[in-house]
């Protein structure tokens, strides 16, 4: 008899706790409350004091002492607009990077759709996407943080910067009322760099292709060369006259004989008139 009474008391207390959780978090009865340690995040992004939270599609995360609503709208596969041989996949936790050998393959929707996660390069980048801010861990102490805008009914990611926009596989730009498939042209002031600059390659580490970007404030004879750590020339990517602007060149991890090079640390140097700058990059295999 005593056991029956105790069982009934526990049942009543559990039902009250459940009701308190539902009432306090202001959520509908469609969501189930489960026990969890404090502090907890409610489905509406508010931190509650009890030990229940609503379990539903709107998952939340405890970040720096605040309850943050995670945004899943960025999940999926995206093609780089500047570099059509590069695809990024956001899986909810990591950004995966895929490359297409455009010399031997048609890099279309059929090709990208045939790939699975085992085809991604080894390096995966953890990320969060909260309040339209995409934060990506690029490793080696490098963090990318960009506020993005979705266009074309969520099928285009506009980084509001010089970084390449992304679009979902198979996006038909004819159906976009706010995007035409080309990044908005920058103003003439932005299109004319104020100084010479060699930027860090991206992605880094990489396998097998990476992009090198650089700024030319005036027309100049440009040379961009890849070296190994012994100072030996691996490949010369650019050697000629170029006009002012923001420039980009890709390296596919081959030497000047079009042979694949081994994994490791490499240097890349730009010489433009009297300007010279060198940076490091890491090739993974």
Instruction: Check residue 180 and give its pLDDT.
Output: 65
Instruction: Check residue 220 and give its pLDDT.
Output: 93
Instruction: Check residue 253 and give its pLDDT.
Output: 93
Instruction: Check residue 58 and give its pLDDT.
Output: 38
Instruction: Check residue 12 and give its pLDDT.
Output: 40
**The Cα angle at residue 246 between residues 245 and 250, in degrees rounded to 5:** 130
- Residues 121 and 117: their CA atoms lie apart, in Å, by 9
* pLDDT tens series, the chain, 285 aa: 554 544 444 344 333 333 333 333 443 433 333 333 334 444 444 554 433 443 333 334 444 445 455 555 899 999 988 777 789 999 988 999 888 876 577 888 899 999 999 998 877 889 988 888 899 988 777 788 888 888 888 899 888 766 778 999 888 888 888 776 654 443 334 456 788 989 888 888 888 888 888 889 999 999 999 999 999 999 999 999 998 887 888 899 999 999 999 999 999 999 999 999 999 999 987
- Residues 265 and 284: their CA atoms lie apart, in Å, by 9
Instruction: Check residue 270 and give its pLDDT.
Output: 96
Tell which residue, 159, 176, 175, 156, has the closest CA to residue 79: 156
Peptide bond into 120 cis (omega under 30): no
Tell which residue, 206, 197, 74, 212, has the closest CA to residue 140: 206
Whole-prediction pTM value? 0.51
- Domains assigned to the chain: 2-68 (no CATH), 76-175 (2.40.128), 191-283 (2.60.40.1930)
**Sheet harboring 233-242: ordered strands across?**
233-242, 220-227, 264-272, 275-283
């Amino acid at each position: 008899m005593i056991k029956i009474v105790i069982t009934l008391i526990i049942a009543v207390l559990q039902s009250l706790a459940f009701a308190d959780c539902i009432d306090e978090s202001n959520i509908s009865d469609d969501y189930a409350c489960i026990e969890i340690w404090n502090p907890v995040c409610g489905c509406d992004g508010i931190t509650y004091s009890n030990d229940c939270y609503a379990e539903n599609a709107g998952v939340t995360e405890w970040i720096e002492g605040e309850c943050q609503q995670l945004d899943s709208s960025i999940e999926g596969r995206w093609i780089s607009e500047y570099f059509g041989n590069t695809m990024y996949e956001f899986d909810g936790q990591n950004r995966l990077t895929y490359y297409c050998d455009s010399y031997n393959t048609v890099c279309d929707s059929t090709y990208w759709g045939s790939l699975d996660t085992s085809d991604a390069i080894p390096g995966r980048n953890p990320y969060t996407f909260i309040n339209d801010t995409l934060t990506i861990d690029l490793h080696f102490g490098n963090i990318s943080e960009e506020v993005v805008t979705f266009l074309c009914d969520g099928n285009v990611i506009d980084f509001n910067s010089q970084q390449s926009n992304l679009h979902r596989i198979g996006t038909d730009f004819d159906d976009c009322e706010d995007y035409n498939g080309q990044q908005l042209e920058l103003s003439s002031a932005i299109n004319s760099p104020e100084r010479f600059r060699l930027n860090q390659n991206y992605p880094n580490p990489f396998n097998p292709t990476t992009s090198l970007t650089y700024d030319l404030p005036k027309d100049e004879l440009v040379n961009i060369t890849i070296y190994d750590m012994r100072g030996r020339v691996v490949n010369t990517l650019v050697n000629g006259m170029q006009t002012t602007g923001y420039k980009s060149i890709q390296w596919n991890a081959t030497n000047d004989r079009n042979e694949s090079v081994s994994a490791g640390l490499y240097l890349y140097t730009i010489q433009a008139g009297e300007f010279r700058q060198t940076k490091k990059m890491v090739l993974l295999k």
